[in-house]
A = this chain, B = another copy of it.
Amino acid sequence: MAQIIPLEQPAKRNINAALDALAALVASDVSAVNQLIVQRMESRVAMIPRLAGHIVAAGGKRLRPILTLAAAQLCGYEGQRHRKLAASVEFIHTATLLHDDVVDASDLRRGGPSANALFGNEASVLVGDFLFSRAFELMVEDGSIDVLRILSHASAVIAEGEVLQLATTNDSTTGEQAYLEVVRAKTAELFAAACRIGAVVAARPSSEEEALRTFGLNLGIAFQIVDDVLDYSAEQARLGKTVGDDFREGKVTLPVILAIHRGSEAERAFWKRTLEDTDHREGDLAHAQDLMHRHHALRDSIDRARHYGAIARDALGLFADHPVKRALLDIVDFTVEREY
């Protein structure tokens, strides 16, 4: 008799439920990785575990390391090397988050900063550096030059993507292609590397390595696009962050790009004022959301995300049926369809 899960429909739009299901398949690995993370953020310098713990706890989902664990299991890997590598991936991600939060004095004057508000820019930068170094120490302990190559390259690409994003921020002429390059570099490259190293530790043929890389890359793009949509559409309480942050920071994301390209001259002047001149007035966010609805910018952004999701799904085609494979496909669906 087939399994009937009547709760599936209501849960469908919650990516956390899908991730929990995937995590359950690699449960002992996940708890080992969590232990490693706590152990390896230790330092005789007390501020380091305090600040790192704050952000690691806040990060919560552990999506990227779980992808490494799942990919390794899908490849039939039975050792434990993937645990250190998954912790390493999470450290790189956490370091990126900490550095993302560093703000310029100008930003402080404009809006409010987040994690670094508690500890200061300097501490955020330095603890990020520490975690980044620890990530490499973990990889060195593993000893695979292939893994080191993949993750050091991913780290350089992420940094490039972040710089590129700086250049597109407050530039309302940013096009969809430039946006995609930012997303691919700053978000998708680490998803791709996280998945790929699962095949590397399992010593699988390059076709499987490539398939998992493709899966991760396209899942990552879809994930970021939906994230950018949710910044305009989510229910605030569910999102766990403030709706409209991107708008206030002048980030030119896909929904904005579509609205600008489909808008009138007057509308473009509105986007220019709010995103470039950062001259914000009462009701601007609501007006931005209204323009997006009028031009179907949110719906069509999700459509674009669905496209990348489809590529991710097909990439797993060459793997035989397996509970992990099914859970990974669910992650794709839930990523695209999620409401938070």
Q: Using known A-B contacts A47-B167, A148-B140, determine if residue A129 contacts B155 with beta carbons closer than 8 Å.
A: yes
Q: Using known A-B contacts A108-B105, A129-B155, A159-B127, determine if residue A45 contacts B136 with beta carbons closer than 8 Å.
A: no
Are A130 and B149 in contact (CB-based, < 8 A)? no
- C-alpha gap A118/B250 in the complex (Å): 21
A residues 278-298 in Cβ contact with B at 8 Å: none
- C-alpha gap A274/B103 in the complex (Å): 27
Classify the interface of chain A: helix, strand, loop or mixed.
helix
- C-alpha gap A163/B160 in the complex (Å): 25
**CB of A99 within 8 A of chain B?**
yes
Q: Report the copy number of this chain in the oligomer.
A: 2
Are B105 and A102 in contact (CB-based, < 8 A)? no
Are B126 and A45 in contact (CB-based, < 8 A)? no
- C-alpha gap A48/B159 in the complex (Å): 10
Are A156 and B134 in contact (CB-based, < 8 A)? yes
Q: Using known A-B contacts A152-B140, A160-B45, determine if residue A129 contacts B167 with beta carbons closer than 8 Å.
A: no
Instruction: Give the Cβ gap from A145 to chain B, nearest Cβ, in Å.
Output: 6
Partner of A47, one of B45, B129, B132, B166: B166
Are B155 and A136 in contact (CB-based, < 8 A)? yes
| Total chain A interface residues with beta-carbon distance under 8 A | 47
Instruction: Give the Cβ gap from A146 to chain B, nearest Cβ, in Å.
Output: 9
Partner of A122, one of B102, B134, B139: B102
**CB of A133 within 8 A of chain B?**
yes
Are B137 and A156 in contact (CB-based, < 8 A)? yes
Q: Which residues of B contact A155 (CB under 8 A)?
A: 129, 132-133, 136
A residues 142-191 in Cβ contact with B at 8 Å: 143, 145, 148-149, 152-153, 155-156, 158-160, 162-164, 166-167
Contact with B along A105-130 (1 / 0, CB 8 A): 11010000000000011110111111
Instruction: Give the Cβ gap from A152 to chain B, nearest Cβ, in Å.
Output: 4
Are B163 and A47 in contact (CB-based, < 8 A)? yes
- C-alpha gap A130/B185 in the complex (Å): 12
Are B48 and A160 in contact (CB-based, < 8 A)? yes
